[in-house]
């Protein structure tokens, strides 16, 4: 790609779509597949002709066109289509685009500088099901709950680009620049980001660059945005490396810059990068990261980029000096699968590759579990080694939208394992040196399912989705009726009830999460991520783990039992006084164990402990600087 086309300064602005310039609106759209184009103003008497330049861009300017004007493009005098770079679709994916003024919002976050990887405790939100109203603004009253009551430091929004209808996970987005109208559109999203920054919360946005949704996707009418050289499970692959792909790449890079610049978001989570196909010498992920890194410097705030990938390809997060794309972190599905298989015993689908506690140890120590060895699920060798990377390069979780929503009954962990195991899962996530992510509601044991839901308008497409879901579940040998994705009840039944945190053992679990998050923030050994200053081992052949972490003279030791029976362990403890920081099996947390002393003196030898089923013990010490010691059996 020509570097002259890459925005690199603070004055970057979106150059396509309907852009205000004084009292004039400049229209610009790339449409090399179109011979003629004009602008149709909704309710207006005339068409406005557009001129075509050598690069395939159509341009026109209109004086005194008010903000709020709705318009279509008319292609070849026949097809009426929304703007590919529409900032707002007030009537949905098939309706007109709207002229908006991106500079009209009164931002109040001028002093916000973002958060480092080490400070992140992510909370994933689906806007439509997080509140009864299902809008951006409805989240505002819950920000104090998230920041101060619970203690997370960032929210991660599932995709918000305009999708068909009012119910969708967001991965069927068809207008990549337009925030969903039923969520509150551009003004609602800006209010949310602005309020989050005012509370000290970062905002990450899930974006989809591997495909567009099947309904309302009109990009192919404009130009070669897609290619048949590659296939994705969700739709046509985006043309990142074929003929005339340069402007397609610009379309995507500009989208990334648009969200961090016009909407002030702190970073992006790029969905399913294994569905992004690019054989260019410079991969599109590298170009996105480089563009955002330059913009981060110009804006004076931290901007981070995460990837979701099932490739276990270390290039995604390796630094460019090692031939990588330089993304800041990636979701670690191997960690989730290792933990889920241990806690639930599930061994179907991709879980057939997991279930050994040694895999959880490897996930915590190295990142990828599958780093080149044979995968029975894939029937081939899979992955590359990531053991040279810091654990902070991985986002870990016990639940997320995929791992809950892609189950036949959308069942959360709270409905699959005992209460003690929920606390154990919280402990391994929040006491880990990696970036923890919570899925909305898990902090109090939400039991409502999170189903897959849509609101398409085409009956053939609806039936295709229903068939696809049945085929997807076949590999897991799940039985039972699949909730109809198109039924509004499927969506409504997926809404969570945050007020449950005040009732019964939901309240206990919520307080438990709060305590863990507080410990993670306050204890230096838990808030720093240095692989050289941590040890994670298995206790012999037991389903129990030893974790030791250190920051200067501050040390912690955590002993975790993944067995349904009590387990006796002994371990070397540094000399000096140790304080019990948490016992998940104590009566305080509705447990039946709690036999460990509140504090004890160690002479540097072995100390024995009895771990209750599905429990952990956390001890801390401030002492002399020393190297870490290995756990015993």
Q: So which residues are the catalytic ones?
A: 271, 308
Is the separation of the CB atoms in 262 and 14 below 8 Å?
yes
Separation CA 473–CA 169 (nearest Å)? 18
CA 499/CA 147 separation, integer angstroms: 16
Helix (H) or strand (E) holding 579: strand 576-583
H and E: helices and strands count for the chain: 14, 31
What CA–CA distance (Å, rounded) separates 339 from 354? Answer: 9
Contact 432, 364 (CB under 8 A): yes
Please check whether residue 61 is in contact with residue 91, taking contact to mean a CB–CB distance below 8 angstroms. no
Residue of 601, 596, 604, 602 lying closest to 630 (CA atoms):
604
Measuring CA to CA, how many Å separate 17 from each of 39, 71, 187?
A: 12, 11, 18
Q: Determine the straight-line distance between the first and last CA of the chain, rounded to whole angstroms.
A: 57
Quote the CA–CA distance of 316 and 318 in Å, as a whole number. Answer: 6
Helix extents (H) in 329-438:
333-344, 357-366, 401-405, 419-430
3-state secondary structure 325-357: CCCCEEECHHHHHHHHHHHHCCCCHHHHHCCCH
For residue 375, list its beta bridge partners: 380
Alpha-helix residue ranges (DSSP H) falling in 121-267: 127-130, 136-139, 143-144, 185-199, 246-262
Cβ atoms within 10 Å of 489's Cβ, excluding its own? 11
CB 576 within 8 A of CB 623: yes
Nearest Cα to Cα of residue 396 among 335, 445, 355: 335
Strands (E), 105-170: 122-125, 154-157, 161-162
């Amino acid at each position: 790609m020509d570097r002259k086309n890459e925005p690199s300064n603070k004055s970057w602005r979106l150059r396509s779509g309907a852009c205000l310039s004084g009292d004039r609106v400049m229209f610009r759209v790339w449409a090399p597949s179109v011979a003629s184009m004009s602008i149709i103003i909704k309710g207006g008497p005339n068409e406005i002709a557009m001129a075509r330049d050598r690069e395939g861009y159509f341009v026109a300017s209109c004086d005194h066109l008010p903000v709020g004007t709705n318009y279509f493009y008319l292609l070849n005098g026949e097809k009426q289509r929304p703007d590919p770079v529409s900032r707002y679709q007030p009537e949905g994916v098939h309706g007109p685009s709207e002229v908006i003024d991106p500079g009209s919002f009164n931002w109040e976050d001028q002093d916000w500088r973002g958060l480092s990887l080490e400070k992140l405790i992510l909370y994933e939100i689906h806007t439509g099901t997080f509140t009864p109203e299902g809008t951006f603004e409805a989240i505002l009253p819950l920000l104090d709950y998230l920041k101060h009551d619970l203690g997370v430091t960032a929210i991660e929004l599932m995709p918000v680009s305009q999708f068909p209808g009012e119910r969708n996970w967001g991965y069927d987005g068809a207008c990549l620049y337009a925030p969903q109208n039923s969520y509150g559109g551009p003004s609602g999203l800006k209010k949310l980001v602005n309020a989050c920054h005012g509370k000290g919360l970062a905002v990450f946005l899930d974006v989809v660059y591997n495909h567009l949704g099947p309904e309302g996707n009109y990009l192919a009418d404009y130009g070669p945005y897609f290619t048949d050289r590659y296939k994705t499970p969700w739709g046509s692959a985006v043309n990142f490396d074929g003929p005339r792909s340069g402007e397609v790449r610009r379309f995507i890079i500009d989208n990334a810059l648009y969200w961090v610049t016009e909407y002030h978001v702190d970073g992006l989570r790029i969905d399913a990068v294994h569905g992004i196909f690019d054989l260019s010498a410079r991969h599109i992920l590298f170009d996105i990261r480089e563009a955002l890194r330059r913009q981060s410097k110009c804006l004076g705030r931290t901007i981070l980029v995460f990837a979701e990938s099932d490739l276990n390809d270390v290039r995604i997060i390796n630094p460019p000096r090692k031939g990588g794309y330089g993304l800041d972190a990636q979701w670690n599905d191997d960690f989730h699968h290792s933990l889920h298989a241990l806690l639930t015993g599930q061994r179907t689908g991709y879980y057939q590759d997991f279930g050994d506690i040694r895999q959880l140890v490897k996930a915590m120590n190295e990142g990828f579990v599958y780093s080149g060895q044979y995968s029975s699920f894939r029937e081939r060798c899979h992955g590359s080694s990531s053991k040279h990377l810091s654990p902070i390069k991985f986002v870990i979780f016990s639940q997320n939208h995929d791992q809950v929503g892609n189950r036949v009954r959308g069942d959360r962990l709270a409905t699959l394992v005992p209460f003690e195991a929920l606390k154990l899962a919280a402990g391994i996530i929040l006491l880990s040196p990696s970036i923890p992510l919570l899925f909305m509601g898990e902090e109090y044991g939400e039991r409502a399912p999170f189903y897959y839901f849509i609101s398409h308008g085409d009956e053939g497409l609806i039936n295709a989705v229903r068939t696809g879901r049945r085929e997807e579940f076949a590999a897991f040998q799940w039985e039972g009726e699949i909730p109809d994705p198109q039924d509004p009840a499927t969506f409504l039944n997926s809404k969570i009830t945050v007020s449950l945190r005040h009732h019964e053992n939901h309240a206990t679990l919520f307080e438990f999460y709060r305590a863990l998050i507080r410990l993670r923030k306050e204890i230096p050994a838990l808030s720093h991520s240095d692989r050289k200053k941590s040890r994670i081992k298995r206790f012999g052949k037991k389903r129990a783990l030893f974790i030791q972490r250190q920051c200067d003279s501050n040390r912690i030791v955590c002993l975790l039992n993944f067995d349904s029976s009590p387990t006796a362990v002994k371990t070397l403890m540094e000399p000096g006084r140790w304080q019990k920081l948490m016992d998940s099996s104590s009566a305080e947390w509705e447990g039946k164990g709690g036999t460990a002393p509140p504090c004890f003196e160690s002479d540097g030898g072995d100390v024995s402990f009895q771990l209750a089923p599905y429990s952990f013990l956390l001890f801390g010490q401030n002492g002399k600087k020393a190297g870490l010691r290995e756990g015993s059996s």
